[in-house]
Structures are given as C-alpha cells and as structure tokens.
Amino acid sequence: MIHVAGTNGKGSTQAMIRAGLESAGLKVHAYTSPHLAHFHERIRVAGELISEPMLAEMLAECEAANAGEPITFFEITTAAAFLAFSRIDADYTLLEVGLGGRLDATNVIEDPRLTVITPISIDHTQYLGDTLEAIAGEKAGILKRRVPCIVGRQLPAAREVIEARAERLHAPLRIAGQDWVSLREGDALVYQDDNGLMDLPLPALPGPHQIDNAGTAIAALRELGFGRVEARAAVTEVEWPARMQRLKSGPLVEAAGDCELWLDGGHNPAGGIAIAATLAALPKRPTHLVCGMLNTKDVVGYMQP
C-alpha cells in the first residue's frame, strides 16, 4: 500500500508512480478522486478501469453489508474499491486521499509500505481549518509509526507540522530540497539524491509544477528500490487527463478551428499559480479563459495569478 495525501499534485504524482511500477511489469491497483468523465476512473483494478458489472456487484455488496446505516458517497465507494482490490491479486495498491487525511475514509490502512505528502496549501477550509498549520495537521494524519514518507516541496509552516508528527511516530522522512532535488535543466529533468544523479526527459505532463511532482514520484520509486528505468517510465509514460491537457480531438476542437483548447481541473490559489506558470511558458498569443467552480472556493485567490 502506498498512501498519497496533499492539496495539489496528488493525482499527477500517483499517476507517475503507477507508470513507473507498471513499467516493471507489476500489477497495480489505484484509487483516486474525483473522476473527470466516468466514475470508473476512480478505481483501477490491476491496471484496468473497473468494469461496469464488477462495480455494480461491489456497490451492491457494500450496500447490503451497510444495512441502511448512515454512510457518505465517498465512504461507500471507498469500501467498494477496497472490496474490488481484495478480489484480484496485485503487487501494489495506490490510495489517494479524498479530503484531508487524518479522518479520510482511505486512512484505515494500518501498515502501508510508504506514505507520500504532496504540496500543501489552503483549500477545503470549511472542513480542514483556515490556517496552513491546521490543514497540514490533517494531511499529516496519514503518517504511520516507522513507515517512511516522501514529502514534496512545502511551505515552512506545513513542513514544521509534518516533521513534528513524523518525529513522534519515528517515521523517516525524505524531504524535497533536503534529501532529494528535482529541477529542469534545458530540455531535461535532473533528479538527485544520496544514490546519485539522473538525467531524464521532461515529464509528459506539461507545466513547471510537474517537475516537482515528478521528483516526488521518483523519490517514492527510489524508496521502493526501483531505479533509472522505472524513473524514466514514470515521467514519459504517465497519462493524467485535465492537468493542463491540450485537447486534440472531438467536437469542441473541430469547432475551435485554429485555436488550441486546454483543459485543467485546478480550483485553488496554488492551482492558479501552477496554471499561470504553465501558460507563461507557452508561446505568447491571445488567451481566453473559461472558468467555473463552486462558490465555496477562493475564486479571487485562484484568478489573481
């Protein structure tokens, strides 16, 4: 089990870890949220999206076992995913936290092989608290006693909270900028840790922020004992829709003529910064933004960058 929490970059980082593991011929279960177009995207069983019959069967079993007791949408779908994973063998299971970490439905794994915390920023304040320290405390709730954790680039206040909890649990940390670094040099991704330096292709997912996500994924693979081949596959073979994804087919693209259409699911200030940086790196041209999000989000904070 590899458990992934954080505010931004969870899905991209998990997708890169999965690409690396699958390149080694391993079978990987994966649970992520939310879905983009079809609910089945949330549950990958041994590398394949869960089938309609299996999904219906798992949900029916969970509903019967729950026997009418109160349960949230995310809780019962998480139970269905775990049930599906239990029916088919795999080498690894990747679990993405739905919200927070400490009280998340995925946080029932007592002894994961590894935990991962991607960058933490302000989001979901109505549930997690309105300070970075409070939110970091919830995210750090996935740390387990003596289980190593890969920590992506963090603001100092969030890092201090993670380090304090890790110290109490004797959980070894591998921290971005301290134990490993990933950066762009020209048209290459350079990753370095105590085991040496790797020159790799740039991530298939566009945007400067994906350099950091790639580093986190590679650090996780290195902790699991994998090397350059799997690291290269993690950045080149990854697929993760709606992360600054250029749409290349479909009726919208046909209607747009010579215009490029890009799609991104960012919805918090940190996501706005990442999208702005990605747009800034593209050739200069007139850019039109179509944006929609819940009114519980920090719309101004997102749009300002």
pLDDT digits (tens, 9 = 90+) for 86-102: 999 999 999 999 989 99
Sign of CA dihedral 4, 5, 6, 7: positive
Three-state DSSP class for 52? helix
CA angle 45, 46, 48 (to 5 degrees): 65
Give mean pLDDT, residues 240-244.
84
Q: What is this structure's pTM? A: 0.91
Q: CA 206, CA 12: separation in Å to the nearest integer? A: 11
Asked if the model's pLDDT at residue 127 lies above 70, the reply is no
Residue reference for tokens 């904070």 = 301
Instruction: Name the residue among 87, 86, 80 with its Cα closest to residue 58.
Output: 80
Region 179-188: mean pLDDT is 96
pLDDT score recorded for residue 124: 67
Q: Retrieve residue 263's tokens.
A: 């799609």
**What is the phi-psi region of residue 205: left when phi exceeds 0, alpha when psi lies from -120 to 50, beta otherwise?**
beta
The mean pLDDT of 126-155, rounded to a whole number, is 92
Q: Which domains does the chain have, with CATH numbers?
A: 2-236 (3.40.1190.10), 245-303 (no CATH)
- Give me 39's structure tokens: 């609910």
Token pair 């990442």 is found at 274
Q: Residue 144 pLDDT > 90, yes or no?
A: yes
What per-residue confidence (pLDDT) applies to 32? 96
Query: Mean pLDDT throughout 219-236?
Result: 97
The tens digit of pLDDT for each residue in 251-289 reads 999 999 999 999 998 888 888 888 898 899 888 889 999
Least confident of 124-138, 149-163, 191-205, 290-304: 124-138
Q: Is the pLDDT of residue 143 over 70?
A: yes
Q: How far apart are CA 291 and CA 202, in angstroms?
A: 28
